[in-house]
């Protein structure tokens, strides 16, 4: 059985998940992102690596924010970008997901950036492309259901490496609704692959999956205990639907127990960094004084995110990328 994300030479063909992605590929992406960071600071923020390539943003689930990051990354690589909010289009005419893909491939698509409410949808597309012999068409998962959000995971790794260098010496804590979070799944996979020193997962019992220990994670249900002496605090966004659900008592109680306040953050190492994938629920999972404070690297995460997406896209489809 072949690898879903790599070609027969071990090169990245699709970015679907950080689960199962070899350490070398992961590091290759992080290394490639560095020069792109420099590009985004130039007077002319543009390189011709994807000139004449057709990139389709296929958003079956609405997310202006994530779509914007990919649109900017693709445009700075000089690609032609076509945005399709598919929920409101051909699927309403009863066309299936794979018929849509076949049609766009017949238009000579080079890349699909896919966001979908169903876990596994990008895998389904990638498998279909392989069955059709369309190895030159690439899929980037921009978030599928509860499963994965690999570019978010990658930009988080870039951020940690940027500020803290060696993963093996770090204690990293992921805090919040890990159970429903595709971001958390991608972060855990990447941190494990990169050999993080100690991985902690912190959250209420109702919002943590079982079996976290098998990834080598230490589980905490008390934020204060969990934050003690950590180098990196990775907060998760509390989804709105969760706030009203049966799994949580109330927003106020959540904030009291698991919201990151300056007082709780003081338990971490003095030079600990605070991360969050955005958008923020200020005053719920994180206080404004922390989010906007000196330890926060939330906005640099966004900047690194553009560079990381440029790296992924040019690795997959850049001029001479797979030559």
- Alpha carbon distance 207, 202 (integer Å): 9
Q: Which of 86, 114, 189, 248 binds its own copies (CB under 8 A)?
A: 86
Residue 221 or 282: the one with the smaller Cβ distance to its own copies is 282
Residue 69 or 181: the one with the smaller Cβ distance to its own copies is 69
Q: Which of 1, 9, 24, 93 binds its own copies (CB under 8 A)?
A: 93
- Alpha carbon distance 316, 91 (integer Å): 28
Q: Which of 95, 192, 198, 247 binds its own copies (CB under 8 A)?
A: 95
Adjacent-strand bridge partners of 214: none
Tell me which residues in 46-85 interact with its own copies (CB under 8 A).
46, 51-54, 62, 64-65, 68-69, 71-72, 75-76, 80, 82, 84-85
In the complex, least distance from residue 96 CB atom to its own copies, rounded to whole angstroms: 8
Tell me which residues in 220-279 interact with its own copies (CB under 8 A).
240, 278-279
For 238, phi and psi rounded to 5 degrees? -85, 115
197 in a known ligand binding site: no
149 in a known ligand binding site: yes
Which of the ranges 37-45, 153-161, 195-203, 264-272 carries the binding residues for its own copies, by CB under 8 A?
Answer: 37-45
Residue 266 or 299: the one with the smaller Cβ distance to its own copies is 299
Q: What CA dihedral angle connects 260, 179, 275 and 15, to 10 degrees? A: -170
Q: Which of 27, 124, 267, 302 binds its own copies (CB under 8 A)?
A: 302
In the complex, least distance from residue 229 CB atom to its own copies, rounded to whole angstroms: 29
Give, as one character, the DSSP assignment of residue 155. H
Adjacent-strand bridge partners of 112: 56, 139
Q: Which of 1, 88, 210, 294 binds its own copies (CB under 8 A)?
A: 88
For residue 67, the SS3 value is helix
Per the structure block, which two tokens stand in for 317? 């489809």
309 in a known ligand binding site: no
**Between the CA of residue 236 and those of 33, 69, 242, 260, 276, what are the distances in Å?**
24, 19, 13, 11, 6
- Alpha carbon distance 241, 244 (integer Å): 6
169 in a known ligand binding site: no
Helix boundaries (H) for the chain: 23-39, 64-76, 97-106, 121-131, 150-164, 182-193, 223-227, 240-243, 251-258, 262-265, 288-291, 298-317
Residue 90 or 192: the one with the smaller Cβ distance to its own copies is 90
- Alpha carbon distance 244, 238 (integer Å): 11
- Alpha carbon distance 68, 53 (integer Å): 18
Q: According to the binding rule CB under 8 A, does residue 300 interact with its own copies? A: yes
Binding positions for L-aspartate: 93, 182, 237
Annotated binding site for carbamoyl phosphate: 65-66, 115, 149, 152, 278-279
* Residue ranges binding its own copies (CB under 8 A): 40-46, 51-54, 62, 64-65, 68-69, 71-72, 75-76, 80, 82, 84-86, 88-90, 93-96, 99, 102-108, 240, 278-282, 299-303, 305-306, 319
């Amino acid at each position: 059985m072949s690898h879903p994300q790599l070609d027969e030479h071990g090169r990245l063909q699709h970015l679907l998940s950080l689960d199962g992605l070899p350490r070398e590929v992961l590091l290759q992406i992080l290394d490639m992102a560095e020069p792109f960071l420099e590009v985004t600071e130039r007077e002319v923020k543009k390189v011709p690596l994807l000139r004449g390539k057709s990139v389709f943003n296929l958003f079956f689930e609405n997310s202006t924010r994530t779509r914007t990051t990919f649109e900017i990354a693709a445009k700075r690589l000089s690609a032609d970008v076509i945005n399709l909010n598919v929920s409101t289009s051909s699927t309403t005419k009863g066309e299936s997901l794979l018929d849509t893909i076949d049609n766009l491939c017949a238009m000579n698509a080079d890349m699909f950036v896919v966001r979908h409410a169903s876990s596994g949808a990008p895998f389904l597309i990638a498998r279909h492309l392989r069955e059709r012999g369309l190895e030159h068409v690439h899929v980037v998962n921009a978030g599928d259901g509860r499963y994965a959000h690999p570019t978010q995971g990658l930009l988080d790794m870039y951020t940690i490496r940027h500020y803290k260098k060696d993963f093996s010496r770090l204690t990293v804590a992921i805090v919040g609704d890990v159970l429903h979070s595709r971001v958390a799944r991608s972060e855990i996979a990447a941190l494990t692959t990169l050999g993080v020193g100690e991985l902690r997962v912190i959250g209420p019992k109702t919002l943590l999956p079982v079996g976290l220990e098998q990834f080598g994670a230490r589980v905490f249900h008390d934020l204060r205990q969990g934050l003690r002496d950590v180098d990196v605090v990775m907060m998760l966004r509390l989804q709105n639907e969760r706030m009203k659900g049966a799994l949580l008592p109330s927003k106020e109680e959540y904030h009291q127990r698991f919201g990151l306040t300056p007082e709780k953050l003081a338990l971490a190492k003095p030079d600990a960094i605070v991360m969050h994938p955005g958008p923020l629920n200020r005053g719920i999972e994180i206080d404004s004084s922390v989010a906007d404070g000196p330890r926060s690297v939330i906005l640099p995460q966004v900047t690194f995110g553009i560079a990381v997406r440029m790296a992924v896209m040019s690795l997959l489809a850049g001029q001479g990328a797979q030559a």
